[in-house]
Amino acid sequence: MYRFPSHSGVYHHHNQIPLGGLGRHPNSGIKSSPISTISHSRPSASAHQQPQAVPGVVVSIVGNHGGVVAVEPSTLDLSLPPPWNVTLRGKHRGHDTIYANITSNISNVNVDSAFVVVTVAWSLDLELVSTVVGWIYFVAWSVSFYPQCFQNWRRKSVVGLNFDFLALNLIGFVLYSLFNCGLYWGTEIQKEYFAEHPRGLNPVLLNDVVFSLHAVCITLVTIGQCFIYENGGQRVSRIATGIISILLIIFTISLVLPFFAVINWLMFLYICSYIKLAITLMKYVPQAFMNYKRQSTIGWSIHNVILDFTGGMLSMMQMIINADNYDDWNSIFGDPTKFGLGLFSVLFDILFLVQHYVLYRHVGYEDVQGDVIDDDPSTTSTAAAGSGENVKTDVGNSREEDSGK
């Protein structure tokens, strides 16, 4: 990772991608030397290969956006003896891709992978804040799955937790894991991606893979609790079953199409990601509606909501910090999907917080011991009392347990 000052901030190289790939000819390979930290204002990347010149080869070093990074020199004559040095200087906040064009009478020289992605930042302090914020929301989102599991185990009950939410959540994270694992480990899929984005970077990192697989595992644990603990006879609703069936049909058709070369595997993963986005937009609705019908949030972990809210707010905060630091507001307003989804989730978290702490803060439930089951609370209480069964009112204690006090 490069860090060095510039006229208007700090030039920061995010990804150490070799400025090379010219190795199709035995004497024409070019790579950028690894640079960790440069304290002066004119860092250099050395292009080097065999200790001999390559006659007839001239490399032009150019960028997509001339106002972001200055390249000195802009050409390299490989007929001169190595090493060949290139100096990069940040001029303005933003992103750029520095790549090589080649003039050569050698036909088997390829420069497709001779590029490096750079970012010019305004402040190292803001970059540090962004990194810290990123780790905090990663931890908050990862930990947010556990309070619900712990509460289910403590109560030995999943009453109050909506099964539609769990079913949609599981499918969403399975599809998210497919997308991440496919792009991270799938060699052929990576080839398809870089064929469409010759100077792009793999958008999936290891932490994305770990997070999604972890989410699948802990969601499966929560679903397992629904089978062993008291569930109040709840089942996945017909509406949710219908929605899931439609999504699975779309998934199945999309899975078959690559085998007939109708679409490639990369497009299949994109379809998986679109289904995941659709699930994100709808998965909170059943739980919010269930809380409204019950006039209670008992059984729905508020700590899960608080951690999810924290992660969502910090995620959007990081996006805003980076947009300002790199002068990249188009990443928010030009493609509002990621920011909009984060905001959508945060708004639902706010709704859950209002339900828990404002609307239903004094509402508990009655734990009726006996065989009497009736939808009418007054009938249930009378029948139980008349039969000599014990009726236990647990309003206050339920609230204290659920709030963690």
**Gap between the Cα atoms of 119 and 306, Å rounded:** 34
Task: Determine the pLDDT at residue 270.
Answer: 94
Task: Determine the pLDDT at residue 181.
Answer: 96
Angle at 47 between CA 41 and CA 51, to 5 degrees: 135
Crossing angle for the helix pair 163-185 and 284-294, nearest 10 degrees? 160
Task: Determine the pLDDT at residue 110.
Answer: 67
Which phi and psi (to 5°) does residue 11 adopt?
-85, 125
**CA neighbor of 72 nearest in space, from 49, 50, 53, 91:** 91
Residue ranges of the domains in the chain? 2-121, 125-368
**Gap between the Cα atoms of 59 and 22, Å rounded:** 11
The pLDDT tens digits along the chain (405 residues) read 333 333 333 333 333 333 333 333 333 333 333 222 222 234 444 444 444 666 777 888 887 776 788 888 878 777 787 777 778 787 788 878 887 777 766 656 666 667 777 888 888 889 899 999 999 999 999 999 999 999 999 999 999 999 999 999 999 999 999 999 999 999 999 999 988 877 677 888 898 999 999 999 999 999 999 999 999 999 999 999 999 999 999 999 999 999 999 999 999 999 999 999 999 999 999 999 999 999 999 999 999 999 999 999 999 999 999 889 888 887 777 666 678 888 989 999 999 999 999 999 876 554 434 343 344 444 444 434 444 443 333 444 444 444 444
Task: Determine the pLDDT at residue 83.
Answer: 76
**Gap between the Cα atoms of 98 and 339, Å rounded:** 28
Place of tokens 């708004």: 347
Residue 376, both tokens: 């009418």
CATH architecture of 2-121: Sandwich (2.60)
**Gap between the Cα atoms of 299 and 293, Å rounded:** 14
**Gap between the Cα atoms of 105 and 115, Å rounded:** 21
The letter for the amino acid at 4 is F
> Which long-range CB contacts under 8 A does 101-105 form with residues at least 24 apart?
101/59, 101/60, 101/62, 102/22, 102/57, 102/58, 102/59, 102/60, 103/57, 103/58, 103/59, 103/60, 104/28, 104/56, 104/57, 104/58, 105/56
Total Cβ atoms within 10 A of residue 375 = 6
Alpha helices of 144-204 — where are they, by DSSP H? 146-155, 163-185, 187-196
- Distances in whole angstroms, Cα of residue 197 to Cα of each of 37, 200, 255: 29, 5, 23
**Gap between the Cα atoms of 322 and 342, Å rounded:** 16
76: left (phi over 0), alpha (psi -120 to 50) or beta: beta
**CA neighbor of 99 nearest in space, from 91, 108, 110:** 110
Q: DSSP string of 97-151? A: EEEEEEEES-TT---TTBEEEEEEES-HHHHHHHHHHHHHHHHHHHHTTHHHHHH
**CA neighbor of 314 nearest in space, from 57, 137, 153, 58:** 137
